[in-house]
Structure 1
Amino acid sequence: MTSPTGWTWRLLDASGAELDPADLDVEVPVEDAQAEAESWLGEHWRTLLERGAASATLLRGDAVVYGPMGLSAS
């Protein structure tokens, strides 16, 4: 569960189903600021893609801020 005001990512597979980050052997942090969360994704998107995530949705608490957005570079 995310904190009420923390920023984090929901990871999705190619069909749009939510993935458990533990199944991808990653820990998605809950950040204090949107820019920190976006920076984390910018640093880790390739690894997430390699491990089966196809897209990500930015959340603030439980509210969708934007997404899903594809992780593929193409």
Structure 2
Amino acid sequence: MIRPQWTWRFVDGEGRELTEPATPLFTNQYDAEQWLGETWRTLAGQGVVTATVLHEGEAAAPAVELRVG
């Protein structure tokens, strides 16, 4: 059985898609969003400006801005 795959696309301040940090694979959107809620400050510190949740490679919701402060 193949499970659905949910991941994140990370973009920097210049609009470039980042390959690092790597995103885990999730089997549902709730877990993916919960993970982002727990790690967004770390991601922002690594240069991520926006994050978009992907379902099977397609955007499933609008991008989220990661801002500290």
Give 1:32 shift.
0.4
Count residues in correspondence: 68
Q: State TM-score, norm by structure 2.
A: 0.85
1:30-49 alignment runs, 5 A limit = 30-49=25-44
Ranges in structure 2 where 5+ consecutive residues have no aligned partner: none
Question: 2:16 — aligned with what?
Answer: 17
Distance in 2 of aligned mates of 1:5 and 1:63: 12
Deviations 1:22-53 (A, max 9, x none): xxxx4311100100000110111000000100
- Write the mapping of 1:1-74 to structure 2, written as runs, cut at 5 A: 5-21=4-20, 26-73=21-68
Q: Point out where structure 1 has 5 or more consecutive residues left out of the alignment.
A: none
Q: Which runs of 4+ in 1 moved over 3 A?
A: none
